Structure 1
Amino acid sequence: MKTKTLLLFLFLPMLLLNAQGELKSVEGYSPNIGRMVYMLEDLKDRITEQVKDLDQSQTDFQYDAQANSIGALIMHLVSTESYYQVATLEGREWTAAELESVGVAGELNANVNSMLKGEPIGHYLDLWEEVRQKTLAALKTKDDAWFASNIEEGLNYHYIWYHVMEHSANHMGQIGTIKNRLPE
């Protein structure tokens, strides 16, 4: 009984904040894809909530020369989702224009961080929303059989989109760390 009570107290604040305690499949998608959409959207909403009010200096802030800025991390999430969207949902490579516009942050390094300065946080969030809307529209055209099918031996579409979701969760933690180090 003590374990159940302890778990309730540990998770109660999270449940109250989200007003949701279960993963649900989003209507309009096959069940497994709908659950993935729920997770992708939940993470995007939580990251957006963390960063939406940042000013320019906070968006570009790096706590040391090797650190990423929040703007660069959001752009990296845009780039990652766009890459997998184009590859898995459209079955093609990025065009030269896509590579220039969203592919710039496929890798994060000092050069990329220096390039991704001077844009307001809304710029990055708008790009993410644009990419996400394309992802959501394309996922509606797929079913769970496609989702479970292999791209190659040992790698299926479900895992690829799990990776996109996991990637967002990892960078959400980095964004929180950067926010904790923002100058007063």
Structure 2
Amino acid sequence: MLNMDNIYLITDVPGYTPQIGRLLSMMNYARHTTLAAAKDLSVDQLDFLMDSESNSIGALLLHFAGVEYAYQVETFEKRELNDEEMAIWGAALNLGAEGRDKIKGNDLAYYVEKLNEVRNRTYELFKTVDDDWLYQQEAFWYQKQANHYFMWFHVFEDEINHRGQIRLIRKRYKG
């Protein structure tokens, strides 16, 4: 679904309502730049820690997939992750010590596959809703009101934020 001919266009996407298409355009651009920031990294680079408190690039990449999956569950299934899902995604969502301990030793293809799996599910789920769905409100973060548009904006806003960390970590790697 990542159409490189249109990567710099926020526009309609065939098969989706207009606002959902534009949201997907933004999400796809964010992912494109994330993949560019991680391009050709070795396992050592993906596992590198700048210090005892930092996250690795691999953990951040898996975090992006985990956040997107969690928002799929929250916004489409109206529930929190169950124990089985937390066993899969918990370290990626929590990062920190848990992420440093559990997320390592994977090559770039592993992380890209996880990102693509989750994104492909997002594409399928977004086909089931329309623009009105984006504006539906519900309690969110500490019981404040938010709409699905904001929630899905946060998915790629979080990725953009952490992508800056990826670029910094990559520059600091002393392999």
Letter matched to residue 164 of structure 1: V
Q: TM-score normalised to the size of structure 2?
A: 0.88
Aligned to 1:167: 158
Distance 1:144 1:19 in 2: 21
Distance apart, 1:21 and its partner CA: 4.8
Q: What are the within-5 Å matches in structure 2 for residues 42-57 of structure 1? A: 42-57=29-44
* CA shift digits 1:17-46 (9 cap, x unpaired): x87654112221111111111111111121
Aligned to 1:5: none
SS at structure 2 position matched to 1:151: strand
Distance 1:107 1:20 in 2: 31
Letter matched to residue 96 of structure 1: D
Is 1:157 equivalent to 2:148 in the alignment? yes
Letter matched to residue 51 of structure 1: A
Distance 1:122 1:130 in 2: 12
Aligned to 2:117: 130
Distance 1:19 1:142 in 2: 23
* Alignment partner of 2:45 out of 58, 68, 73: 58
Distance apart, 1:112 and its partner CA: 1.8
Aligned to 2:131: 144
Backbone CA RMSD of aligned residues: 1.9
Distance 1:137 1:111 in 2: 31
Aligned to 1:41: 28
SS at structure 2 position matched to 1:135: helix
Q: Single out whichever of 104-113 and 74-83 deviates more from structure 2.
A: 104-113
Aligned to 2:74: 87
Aligned to 1:70: 57
Question: Number of residues paired by the alignment?
Answer: 168
Distance 2:32 2:90 in 1: 22
Kindly, what percent of the aligned residue pairs are identical?
35
Q: Quick check: 2:9–2:25 contact (8 Å CA) kept in 1?
A: no
Q: Quick check: 1:105–1:112 contact (8 Å CA) kept in 2?
A: yes
Question: Unpaired segments of 5 or more residues in structure 2?
Answer: none
Name segments (4+ residues, structure 1) moved above 3 Å. Answer: 18-22
SS at structure 2 position matched to 1:154: strand
Is 1:179 equivalent to 2:170 in the alignment? yes
Question: Unpaired segments of 5 or more residues in structure 1?
Answer: 1-17
Distance apart, 1:98 and its partner CA: 1.8
Q: Single out whichever of 89-98 and 119-128 deviates more from structure 2.
A: 89-98
SS at structure 1 position matched to 2:94: coil
